[in-house]
Structure 1
Amino acid sequence: MTDAALEVDATGLRCPQPILRAKRALNTLQSGQRLLVLATDPGSLQDFAAFARQTGNTLVEQSTDAAGVHRFVLQRR
């Protein structure tokens, strides 16, 4: 388990809601802190990779469980 300072449950939400919620949550964190995002939207796999590149935040971890829940850990720049 990654030491996330905050968790966002965006399961059941469609694009762009998971990214918007992650962006809002990241804005509350200090530099270096981590955010855990849970999402079920299949498009979120590409969305979070692009979001990390565009914002300069680091996508530390990305995985998908057997139930189809995608887990993203972002570290604030």
Structure 2
Amino acid sequence: MKVLDARGKRCPLPVIMLARLVPEVEVGSVVRVLADDPAAAVDIPAWCRLRGQEFVGAVEDGPGYDVRRVR
């Protein structure tokens, strides 16, 4: 699992950082995005839908989101 630390970054930076990292990750792998911007809770799932990636869900133990690379 890759971890992308976008804490302290404001919209749209967490999504931009995720978009740049995903091509480096193997298909089927999960990227955990650590983000404390409230907009990330909406932006990251929306980006996944638009880009054909799987939004696995929010991380229960902190401000993070799991995204699985599908293609």
Q: TM-score, normalised by structure 2?
A: 0.89
Partner deviation per Cα, 1:6-51 (whole Å, 9 max, x = no partner): 1110000001110011111111011111101000111111101101
Task: Say yes or no: does 1:73 pair with 2:66.
Answer: yes
Residue from 23, 31, 36 that aligns with 2:19: 23
Higher helix share: 2
**Structure 1 residue runs of 4 or more that deviate by more than 2 Å after TM superposition:** none
Aligned length: 70
Question: Where do 5+ consecutive residues of structure 1 fail to align?
Answer: none
Tell me the C-alpha RMSD between the 2 structures.
Answer: 1.3
Alpha carbons 1:45, 1:70 under 8 Å: kept: no
2 CA distance for matches of 1:48 and 1:70? Answer: 12
Q: TM-score, normalised by structure 1?
A: 0.83
Alpha carbons 2:59, 2:66 under 8 Å: kept: no
2 CA distance for matches of 1:16 and 1:64? Answer: 23
Partner of 2:58: 62
